[in-house]
Structure 1
């Protein structure tokens, strides 16, 4: 949820509506809206980091629990 995103400093690089360092959260939601395991996939990207999917700037791993990563992913997917 938004509070969890603020707590884990996600908003330093991601805003809901606009690209900052990383893609807008609504753009992430749109890209993975039809993916069956989208929440699990995104939770893995949150915890493990990512590079090359949205451009040259890598996303570092975020030190969150599995439950928090899943909650963040579930919330992101609601932002359509």
Structure 2
């Protein structure tokens, strides 16, 4: 059985997980900053920056997320 109290814990001083927001127009330029392996990972996930897409990318011993949005400069709560 899942102990939900273990899943909901306060910040313990660990680094935050980065979330990068891109759209289909900015994705190609942004992805140039990634390694070939990271770009291949996003390609395998069929991530191209389209709205409502999410990609997970390994980064050394950690990872980061990239989210596709319609306009990264004008976000709403939905």
TM-score (norm 1): 0.28
Q: Give the structure with the larger helix fraction.
A: 1
- Higher percent of residues as strand: 2
Larger Rg over CA atoms: 2
